[in-house]
């Protein structure tokens, strides 16, 4: 399938099952398959329900979804409205065909069209293909900031023991 033609288009609720498959593929690649707790139902509601909180673009080749980019608005106290790129995923068999590049450029167009103050994302420090991808765009990859995270079970413990 090398050099297979593809199109980039806005994702729809009907694309969610294929998107979830790509997300599971990404989780496998990142050695965290059990970390995916989103479901097709939650993703459909969260992206295409009454109050959508994300947008996605898909890459389609030969009538199947082979890539996706998922974004949402983020507000920076220093910069204002910015677009957060949660993930770009291209199925492993088609990596190297500029599908990721096309998805990334579509996201960049969104930033420009909506007059946002920038685009931000994360990439794992061991993901050399991802780091090389973003470096091609002269992106700033900032080692200074450390990501924080609390899961529901952590929050429950904190709230039970407010003396922390």
For the annotated catalytic residues, the residue numbers are 134
Gap between the Cα atoms of 142 and 146, Å rounded: 9
Q: Where are the beta strands (DSSP E) in the chain?
A: 7-10, 55-61, 64-76, 80-90, 119-121
Phi-psi region of 31 (alpha: psi -120 to 50; beta: other; left: phi over 0): left
Q: Are 133 and 97 in contact (CB under 8 A)?
A: no
Measure Cα distances from 130 to 20, 47, 70, 84, 164 in Å: 20, 25, 16, 16, 37
End-to-end CA distance of the chain: 55
Rounded CA gap, 58 and 125, in Å? 25
């Amino acid at each position: 399938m090398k050099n297979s033609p593809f199109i980039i288009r806005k994702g729809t609720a009907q694309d969610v099952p294929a998107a979830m498959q790509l997300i599971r593929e990404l989780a496998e690649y990142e050695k965290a398959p059990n970390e995916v707790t989103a479901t097709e139902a939650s993703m459909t509601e969260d992206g295409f329900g009454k109050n959508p909180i994300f947008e996605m673009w898909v890459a389609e080749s030969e009538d199947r979804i082979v890539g996706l980019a998922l974004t949402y608005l983020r507000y920076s106290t220093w910069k204002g409205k910015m677009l957060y790129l949660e993930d770009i995923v291209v199925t492993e068999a088609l990596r190297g065909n500029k599908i990721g590049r096309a998805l990334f450029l579509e996201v960049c167009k969104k930033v420009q069209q909506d007059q946002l103050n920038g685009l931000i994302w994360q990439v794992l420090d061991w993901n050399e293909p991802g780091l090389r991808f973003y470096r091609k765009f002269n992106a700033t990859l900032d080692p200074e900031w450390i990501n924080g995270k609390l899961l529901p079970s952590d929050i429950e413990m904190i709230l039970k023991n407010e003396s922390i």
